[in-house]
């Protein structure tokens, strides 16, 4: 008996927009000095979910995971500073790698499917809460 492939639900433009808004609004908030822990969290989660979903899918997009890892490393430093000082900001040298990560995440999200994003987000949340 032949096994059926699971149904793949592609990422819709609406979902792309939600992820894009979470990343770009936070980035622009940082540009104008209105960055905070909520904006940081939304951006960091969006980038991380896309990055780890790409890893599971074994993406063939050149430098995708490497670019997202650099953005995540940068955001980890921002988080440490924010947690230590309660000042949430991106410095001049942190903007470029974060923007590169946002742009790569937007480029890659269309190659993923809704179920993979949901499973990845659930797994990351579970790993953080444990």
- Condensed to tens digits (0 to 9), the pLDDT of residues 46-62 reads 999 999 999 998 889 99
CA dihedral 33, 36, 39, 42 (to 10 degrees): 150
Q: Measured between alpha carbons, how far is 13 from 106 in angstroms, rounded to an integer?
A: 11
Q: How many residues does the chain have?
A: 130
Q: Given this model, what pLDDT does residue 100 score?
A: 98
* 10 DSSP β-pair partners: 113
What is the tally of structural domains in the chain?
Answer: 1
pLDDT confidence of 6, banded at 50, 70, 90? Answer: low
Query: What is the arithmetic mean of pLDDT over 4-28?
Result: 89
SS3 state of residue 113: strand
Is residue 1 in a domain?
no
Residue 3, in any domain of the structure? no
**Mean pLDDT to the nearest integer, 71-77:** 98
Residue 5, domain member (yes or no): no
Range of the domain at 56: 13-129
pLDDT reading at 1 higher than 70: no
For residue 92, being part of any structural domain is answered with yes
Q: pTM score, two decimals? A: 0.91
């Amino acid at each position: 008996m032949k096994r059926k492939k699971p149904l793949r639900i592609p990422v819709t433009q609406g979902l792309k927009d939600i992820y894009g808004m979470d990343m770009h609004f936070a980035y622009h908030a940082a540009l104008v000095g209105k960055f905070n822990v909520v904006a940081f969290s939304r951006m960091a989660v969006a980038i991380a979910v896309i990055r780890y979903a790409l890893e599971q899918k074994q993406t063939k997009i050149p430098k995708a995971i490497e670019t997202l890892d650099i953005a995540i490393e940068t955001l980890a430093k921002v988080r440490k500073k924010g947690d230590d000082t309660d000042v949430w900001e991106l410095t001049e040298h942190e903007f470029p790698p974060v923007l590169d990560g946002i742009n790569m995440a937007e480029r890659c999200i269309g190659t993923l499917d809704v179920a993979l994003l949901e499973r990845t987000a659930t797994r990351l949340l579970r790993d953080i809460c444990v």
